[in-house]
Structure 1
Amino acid sequence: MAEFAVYFLIEKLTILLNENAQLFKGVRQDFEYVRDELERMIAFLRVADGFEESDPELNVWVKQVREIAYDTEDVIDEFLLHSKHDHCSHGIRGFLGELYFSIKKLKFTRKVSAELRSIISRVRNIAQGHQRYRYKLSIQEQDSSSGFLDYSVTDRRGDALLLEEGELVGIDNPKQNLIRLLMEEDPGLKVISVVGMGGLGKTTLVKRVFDDAVVKKHFQNHAWLTVSQFKIEDLLKDIIQQLFDEIKQPLPERIGSMNSNRLKEIIREFLRRRRYVLVFDDVWSIPAWEAIKYALPNENHGSRIILTTRLINVASASCIETDGYVYELNPLSEEESWTLFCQKAFQGNSCPQHLIEICSNILRNCGGLPLAIVAIGGLLATKNTLRVSEWEMLNHSLGPELEGNDKLESMKNILLLSFNDLPYYLKPCFLYLSVYPEDHLIEHNTLIRLWIMEGFVKQKEGRTVEEVAEGYLNELINRSLIFMVKTNDDGSLKYGQIHDLYREVILLKVREQNFVTTANEQKTMWPGRVRRLSIHNTLEHVKKERYGTQVRSLLTFGVTDPQSMLNILQLLSSFRMLKVLTLKDVPLLTVPEATFTLFRLRHLSLRNTKVKVLPRSIKNLKKLEILDLKQTYITELPVEILELHCLSHLLLYRTVVYSYLPYHCSYGFKALKGIGGLISLRKLVYMEASCGSDAIKEISMMTELRRLCITKLRREDGMAICSSIKKLHNLRSLNLKSTEEDMVLDLQYLSSPPPFLQRLYLTGRIEKFPVWIQSLHNLIKVYFRWSKLSDDPLQYLQDLPNLVHLEFLVGFTGEELCFKSGKFQRLKLLNFDKLEPLRRVIVEEDAMPHLEKLVIQRCNLLQRIPRGIEHLIELKVVEFFDMPDEFISTMDPHRLGEDYCKVAHIPEVYYTFWRNGGWEIYPLDQNPADENSRQPRTVIRTQGRRNSL
């Protein structure tokens, strides 16, 4: 980590001294001396970073180097800020003004010079230690360190912590045992507690059980809750959110202001007379279980609760009242451990003969803990099997660390070795994950933007800085340090998490290095140096006077109480060096005035606040690159925003959620004349084409755009928008929407579309299919909404080689859609919604061979299920939503529906009706015609009528 801090400082010094020679006159020599001395240490730091854990003296020396780098950066930033501020803030003209500025500059230069002399004295002492420790380190250690691999980006996401079903070792018997316990005929509510130490794979096992198709069919309602350190209200809201999302219903009104008792009542009412399965993962205390259980009704329908916990007393207490089961998970056997180890370390191949003894010793220390085996196996997978010294070094390092220690601590040490083996550029990226609260979902795009704004990612020749950051993220995934929770259509990460144990390792390091400081309910003491401040839920203690010149980042998570908000606003006024400011979810009505004095700010997020106006003083933030205003109430931007020439991301839209999404459900901002001057923009969403063709034409100047969303387009804008888009050669995502659903979206003039386009969203009437779409071989996702296409769209889309996701909402006016044999080779998700004239869907053999999910909604004239659906052997889920009874009856096994056999191979088939003021969701194997036997998966009653288009 010290290596990164020093490397970053050297790069910064070199650039500043070259580009600001006149500004640094008088202190240039001192800065050059510090830079040169640190350059001499950089190679040694790369070695020392890996050995400081086992050498306390070396640890102190590395810490001193790191602090020198931070202190020097503080002096530089203070100098630049002072010089810039003085020069810009004094409008005095003539001789007196120049004299005043010169005297003040001289005074401050002397102050900087004094601070630099102190730093130089410290650098000289550190340089002496540098020579001493170079001699101290053994030749063997230096050789092994210099043998670090060149960590090029490889994409092996199958090595992530949560393995594919076929790769899991030792899980089959526990999985079948748990399923048997879940499916027992006993009608009473039962709790099954899976207990074991951290790293045994409790969560992985239970997730496989929870996702099993048999379990999904048996229970009508399902929810997965991660408990850990929780607030009862938040947990109850999470349960409600999942239950309502499962049946595609909006949340009860005013849920945000309800107390825990009212929330429990909603849950009890929802689950009453239902057979449900709920998982509460990572329960740490008996009071936590006590707070949960009273929300769960027991009406003898065979419902089940699964708990995972590390504590046997929690497991026992949770099972007593329901006469449940404590299922103790055991470590893997030697054979299972070896199998898993070889899968991770050698990609399933056999261990080379010359490494068997070394690997056996390493594996013995893992104690049969799957997480430890996965971690160390993933680490060794990056090693060259011919460099035995690297394997020997790891073997010798593991032994002393693990022998005689508690197994949990041993596992932390193993994971710490994974951290130490990271290349220097990945260490700050990995440590930065500590800004997130425990069990927080890490959103891919946000994380990458934060890494870049923090300065962790450097552009490489031939690659954008985003592509470099993407490579960093893939490396952490491949090393099993981040695992995927949800993926995009192309298989890339959408949301990820880090395991609790990895997070513990990170927290140890960030505390030691003061890399990130977390303020939450439990934390009352802050360290002497705060560089990045992450506030979780509340901020009760403010000591702003100590940290103003040091804090570079301020991030908030779940801060909703007014007092914490006021404390944060007090802090802002003193954080002059802030580069990253994230106030997501903070209940702000206006943008804090102090924000516009943060002249070095690069990233500003006001996402999901109540802000309605962006002040004109936004022009002060000349270095701002990312402005995130999603889900705010801002609809117009001040013209002064056009002065922010560094801006790369302008994200502003608000979406209103309905049961059915009407045409007008999202709102952007009115276009500004002159917006084309923001030529650094890479993402622009959602701009309303309110200024007509002039604003649309200016888009052609933004040649760096990767994502573009434009709404309120008129028919007469067609030629202008097509002319602009064809110049955006870097575009990856395009979203176009007309003013009204019957307004024509004219796209016939786009003769040469952006060649790398991956996602295309077209909303509005399209008179003739845009034939240029069939040339976009990189397309992954295509949406047609209210397009009312008369041409058969499949003939233009069927040969797209990378198309994975296809949706139509009021998108086609024909009576038949035929998927030809051999076409749509990579399609995985297909959705038809409100294609009212549609009568037939035909799937020829070998069409859509990899389709996994099919959704058909509100196609009222569709007479039968798609003919040939039996050919779709990889189909896992089919949902029929609000379809006619006659359509559903053709698949009814109780009435000998002739199409039942065609869908019998599909694990999950559901159909949904609106009846008696509520949605009823049924598994296919239940009979909707028999009032006595039918048991819908979910019933929700609401007042009034359903939403419609």
Structure 2
Amino acid sequence: MAEVVTGAMGTLLPKLADLLTEEYNLQRGVRGEIMFLKAEMESMETALLKISQAPIDEPPDIQVRLWAKAVRELSYDLEDNIDKFMVRIEAGEQDKSHSFKGFIDKSLSLLTKGKIRHKIGIDIKDIKSRIKEISERRDRYKVDSVPVAKTTRQTLDTLRLSALYKKATELVGTDEKRFEVVKMLMEGDEVSKKLLRVVSIVGFGGLGKTTLANAVYNKLKVQVDITSKKRHFDCTAFVSVSLNPNMERIFKSLLHQLDKQKYENINEATWGELQLIEEIRTFLADKRYLIVIDDIWDKGVWENIKYALIDSEHGSRVITTTRILDVAQQAGGIYRLKPLSDVHSRKLFYQRIYETTDKSPPNELVEVSQNILKRCGGVPLAILTIGSLLSSKKGRSHTHEHWSKVYKSMGSGLDNSHDDVKNMRRILSVSYSDLPPHLKTCLLHLSWYPEDYEIETEQLIWKWVGEGFLKKEQGRSLYEVGEGYFEELINKSLLEPVKFDHVNKVSSCHVHDMVHDLITSLSNEENFLTTVGCQQPMDLPCKSRRLSIQTNIKEVANWLPTMSLSHVRSLTVSGSAFCLLPTLECFPVLRTLDFTDCKQVDNNHWKDICSLFHLRYLSLKGTSITKIPREIGNLKFLQVLDIRSTNIQEELPSTFIQLTQLLLVHMINSIAGAVPRWMCSLSTLFSLSITLETLGEEDLHVLGSLPSLSELYIQVKKSTQGRDRLVVGSDYPFPCLTRFSVKSHTMELRFAEGGMQNLQTLCLNFYDVDTLIQFDDFTLGLEKLSSLGHIKVMFNEKHEKISTVTNAMKKEIDINRNKPNLTVEVRSEIQEKVRVALYVELSAMAFIKGVKKLGH
């Protein structure tokens, strides 16, 4: 949840409530202490949320910030103590033996529990004394009276004015974009030209939205009609909304610009918002107007403004700018503002540095300047800011050493002593400041990924689940909540889509380098995440909560054991760093563990892994693991298990049944047996990927009875020649399944009434067509899937009978009342292997490149 703002409060408070239940049988005095703690922590959570609303460039007093940090640390410590207590109590209740040894063990367990309960009482009293001390400091620093600082309107308005009145030399690359927007506004048939038309310029902070809107505005407002010799527009206005709008002030500014003489004294009027809207509508009723509404942050604000913009069919035009995609979509035609090209980036950069168009850096600075521009990513604000740092009028020498120093600083937070850097940080950080606490936490988590790294959406969301960032919502799974968070960050232009799947969902994304620089800086300030890179100084904060080891430095082997790792909740280790990792016993409260592609991880490491009782997320994808031991049942809080691409040789142990909180299990290419019957008891399982030797009725019976299963991917190794298709009907209902994917030689299944009635997406991947068409009557029963919206079919080779198969499917789709979309893709197995290998290689190169940047 909102960890960066409120520490562990989101998960701590429910646990305090749980401790008050009879299950834990705490002494009356201890229960009273817990009630006190719960009330105090709830009050402190409210204060923390209030403090968090201050903008980055206007933080609260240093004493208030220190108080907030102490409260967050206290919440972590208390939750760690409670977790240890709960695990030790519950571990003693697992032995259900009725033997004499079981009786002795149970007796000893009761004695142990008494000691544990006594220990938690002592710990809580210690926490209580710390809370009292913190509460006294809270009163002393008047934390509750700290005003909720809004984003500095004056500062941002000043920055916006600078965008409106930029020098001509700083409008590099604007002409082409201005032409495109003017074309969207003005072209069309005679009927559409008379209607009100809105174009919304959308993009993240610093991309030049206001500059472009102003360029279009200045061009159109002076255009003259060839026939009448009059200007195209009767009146014009340019108003800025900003993050915390005063609607009356905005409407008065609009009226004053529309007619300065008539509304000369409008600011002195006492009209309310509704009266001002009515006045604007009356004034615009018989006029052709051009209005720019700059920097809209909220759909509701646009709705209010839209009421004033009457469409009297005189050909009026409106331009809006926003960082929020939803706002742009609601306003009208979308113009997605793209970064500057490489050519325009260089031109703008050199003009800012040398203040002339006919000068470029000497040869020894060309390469470093290219590196700087790549990191700026075509964002005019970033280019101008870095250019100002290197500007000749600053009195600094144009040396390779100095330029390299500036370039390296871009990856770890720029020097804020420079005014231009402060301004750029304000513009970028306003998007961060506007986020609710839970999205701030999710965004800061992205600082773990290196620059230029392509982030897979699904993997990212499940990581958020394991980290505990997602808040349960009625009627939605945790993954669906995470999808909502992800879409909000995309919508606010803080994440950039890279790839889309066949249903037009973002399947991978990218963090712009300038946004990455901002969140890396913030993450470091908050001790949110610590990354040990190739050449970084190893200065792990005393209470680092997240640790990513991405280095092969030998000194790490001696360094890590000397550090305090008892507070680390998340650990990610790159392949080259694993051999240097100390025993996992150093991480007693670890929640997430990611060993992806660490080949050195093998069966010998299971003992340490299975001792991590608090583990929620475990990725062993691409490791050398070949079996899963019975001890995995110890990980009773485990929610996500990813063992894809590992070569598991044995069946899953029956102790898997103890993993009662599992949401995701990925084990494609890992297990070749049947689906075990005990899997029916995994009532929370949301997503399952599994490889089977063959698919049989017993497998369907188990999978179809899983009550929460929403996503299922099955890979079937052997074809089912000579066997009738299995019918998925009311006997195998799959009650919650929305996405189903099958990769096989044949299509083993046929759909009937009552089965998979909530299925929305069906993906079919066939090895070869010859085996597929063994059935004389190729019917799938697609018309029976009443909720189906998308079907994707992949063939791994070209075949003359592909059209026969697809035509048969189209006939069934045509009579499906939902009329699902069909996508067909043909690619050879060899091409697929090359594609996957290339993707893995490019991803690895991007990751290594990012790690090297971190090292600088």
SS of the aligned residue for 1:687 comes to strand
Please say if 1:552 is aligned against 2:569.
yes
Structure 1 counterpart of 2:683, which letter?
A: I
1:759 equivalent among 762, 777, 796 = 762
Contact kept, 8 Å, 1:412 with 1:501, in 2: the verdict is no
Task: Name the residue aligned to 1:335.
Answer: 215
Matched, 1:687 2:585: no
The one-letter amino acid of 1:80's match is M
* C-alpha distance in structure 2 between counterparts of 1:357 and 1:76, whole Å: 61
Q: Retained in 2: the 8 A contact 1:553–1:578?
A: yes
Residues 349-388 of structure 1 mapped to structure 2, 5 A cutoff:
352-354=250-252, 377=295, 379=297
The one-letter code of the counterpart of 1:471 is: G
Q: Secondary structure at the match of 2:43?
A: helix
Match of 2:682 among 675, 678, 681: 678
Matches for 1:634-645 after TM superposition, within 5 Å: 634-640=648-654, 641-645=656-660
CA offsets 1:342-387 (integer angstroms, 9 cap, x no match): 799899x99943467999xxxxxxxxxxxxxxxx947566868989
Counterpart for residue 406 of structure 1: 419
In structure 2, the partner of 1:249 is none
Q: 1:288 maps to what in 2?
A: none
Task: Report the alpha carbon displacement of residue 476 of structure 1 after superposing the two structures with TM.
Answer: 1.4
The answer to whether the 8 Å contact 1:671/1:691 transfers is no
Question: Which residue number in structure 2 is paired with residue 770 of structure 1?
Answer: 780
Give, in angstroms, the shift of residue 597 of structure 1: 0.8
> What SS does the aligned partner of 1:610 have?
coil
Q: Is the 8 A contact 2:473 2:481 kept in 1?
A: yes
Q: Does 1:78 align with 2:84?
A: yes
Shift in Å, 1:62: 1.0
Structure 2 partner of 1:444: 457
Query: 1:652–1:18: structure 2 CA closer, same or farther, 3 Å change rule?
Result: same
What SS is found at the alignment partner of 1:747? strand
Quick one: distance in 2 between partners of 1:40 and 1:84?
30
Look up the equivalent residue of 2:215 and give its one-letter code: E
Paired residue secondary structure (1:27): helix
Contact 2:621 2:644 in 1 (8 A): yes
Asked if the contact 2:751/2:785 (under 8 Å) is kept, the reply is: no
Mapped to 1, the partners of 2:22 and 2:458 lie a distance apart of 32
2:579–2:600 CA contact under 8 A, matched in 1: no
How far off its partner does 1:14 sit? 1.4
Matched, 1:123 2:125: no
Q: 1:758-798 deviations in whole A, cap 9, x for unaligned?
A: 13315333532324347545422321548864664333335
Letter in 2 for 1:582: D
CA distance in 1, matches of 2:595, 2:48: 36
Q: Deviations over 1:119-142 (max 9, x none)?
A: 21221132234345557736xx45
Q: How does 1:256-335 map to 2 (within 5 A)?
A: 335=215
Looking at both structures, which has the greater relative contact order when contacts are Cα pairs under 8 Å and sequence separation is at least 6? 2
Is 1:534 paired with 2:548? Answer: yes
Unaligned runs of 5+ residues in structure 2 are: 152-170, 180-203, 220-237, 258-293, 306-413, 767-771, 832-856
* Corresponding residue number in structure 2 for 1:277: none
C-alpha distance in 2, partners of 1:170/1:803? 46
Instruction: Find the residue that maps to 2:662 and give its secondary structure.
Output: coil
> Which residue is equivalent to 1:416?
429
2:243/2:296 contact within 8 Å kept = yes
Q: Does 1:780 align with 2:794?
A: no
Change (3 A) 1:85 1:673: closer
* 1:14 maps onto 2:31 in alignment: no
Superposed displacement of residue 499, structure 1: 1.7
How much has 1:104 moved relative to structure 2? 4.3
Distance 1:526 1:383, change over 3 A: farther
Aligned to 2:735: 729
Residue deviations 1:911-944 (CA, integer Å, cap 9, x gap): xxxxxxxxxxxxxxxxxxxxxxxxxxxxxxxxxx
Q: Where does residue 66 of structure 2 map in the other structure? A: 60
Q: In 2 relative to 1, CA 460–136 (structure 1 residues): closer, same or farther, beyond 3 Å?
A: closer
C-alpha RMSD of matched pairs (Å): 4.5
Give the partner amino acid of 1:435. Answer: W
The question of whether the paired residues in 2 share the 8 Å contact of 1:200 and 1:331 is answered with no
Distance in 2 separating the partners of 1:407 and 1:581 = 40
* Higher fraction of helix: 2
Superposed, which structure 2 residues align to 1:825-840 within 5 Å?
831=825
**Structure 1 residue 483: deviation in Å?**
1.4
Residues 799, 381 of structure 1: CA spacing in aligned structure 2 closer, same or farther, 3 A cutoff?
same
State the alpha-carbon separation in 2 of the partners of residues 6 and 679 from structure 1. Answer: 28
Q: Distance in 2 between matches of 1:510 and 1:405?
A: 21
Residue among 455, 464, 467 paired with 2:480: 467
In structure 2, C-alpha distance between the alignment counterparts of 1:483 and 1:24, rounded to whole Å = 53
Tell me which residue corresponds to 2:532: 519
1:584 aligned residue: 596
Alpha carbons of structure 1 residues 715 and 424: separation in structure 2 relative to 1, 3 Å: same
Once residues 581 and 560 of structure 1 are traced to their aligned partners in structure 2, the CA distance between those partners, rounded to angstroms, is: 13
Asked if structure 1 preserves the Cα contact closer than 8 Å seen for 2:592 and 2:615, the reply is yes
Alpha-carbon distance between aligned partners in 1 of 2:600 and 2:300, rounded to the nearest angstrom: 47
Cα pair distance change 1:464/1:351, threshold 3 Å: farther
Q: Secondary structure of the residue that 1:736 maps to in structure 2?
A: strand
Instruction: Indicate which of 496, 517, 523 corresponds to 1:510.
Output: 523
2:810 paired with 1:794: yes
Aligned partner letter, 2:629:
P
**Could you report, residue by residue, the CA deviation over 1:644-692 in whole angstroms, capped at 9, with x for unpaired residues?**
23222221124xxxxxxxxxxx985543343333332222222315484
Question: In the alignment, is the contact (CA less than 8 A) between 1:677 and 1:701 conserved in 2?
Answer: no
Task: Summarize the Cα distance change of 1:732–1:355 in structure 2 as closer, same or farther, 3 Å threshold.
Answer: farther
Alpha-carbon spacing, 1:350–1:638, altered in 2? closer, same or farther (3 Å): same
For the residues of structure 1 that align with 2:532 and 2:217, how far apart are their CA atoms? Answer: 40
Return closer, same or farther for 1:589/1:33 CA change in 2, 3 Å cut-off.
Answer: closer
Quick check: 1:137 aligned with 2:145? yes
Q: Is the 8 A contact 1:604 1:626 kept in 2?
A: yes
* Alignment-mate amino acid for residue 571 of structure 2: L
Does structure 2 conserve the Cα–Cα contact (< 8 Å) formed by 1:544 and 1:571?
no
Cα distance change of structure 1 residues 416 and 798 upon mapping to structure 2, 3 Å threshold: same
Deviations 1:239-260 (CA, angstroms, capped at 9, x unpaired): xxxxxxxxxxxxxxxxxxxxxx
1:497 to 510, 515, 521: 510
Query: What letter matches 1:679 in structure 2?
Result: S
Secondary structure of 1:543 counterpart:
helix
Retained in 2: the 8 A contact 1:676–1:698? Answer: yes
What residue in structure 2 maps to residue 900 of structure 1?
A: none
Partners of 2:700 and 2:252 lie apart in 1 by 66
Residues of 2 paired with 1:378 and 1:524: CA distance?
A: 43
Q: State TM-score, norm by structure 2.
A: 0.61
1:931 is matched with none
Q: Alpha-carbon deviations, 1:45-68, whole Å to 9, x = none?
A: 221112382421211111111111
1:628 to 601, 619, 642: 642
TM-score (norm 1): 0.55
1:436: how far off? 1.7
1:696 and 2:709 are equivalent in the alignment: no
Q: Match for residue 610 of structure 2? A: 596
Q: What is the CA-CA distance between 1:18 and the residue it aligns to?
A: 2.8
2:178/2:212 contact within 8 Å kept: no
**What's the CA shift for 1:465?**
2.0
Structure 1: 5+ residue stretches without partners = 146-168, 178-197, 205-329, 360-375, 388-400, 655-665, 808-830, 835-856, 859-880, 882-949
Is contact 2:498-2:510 (8 Å) kept?
yes
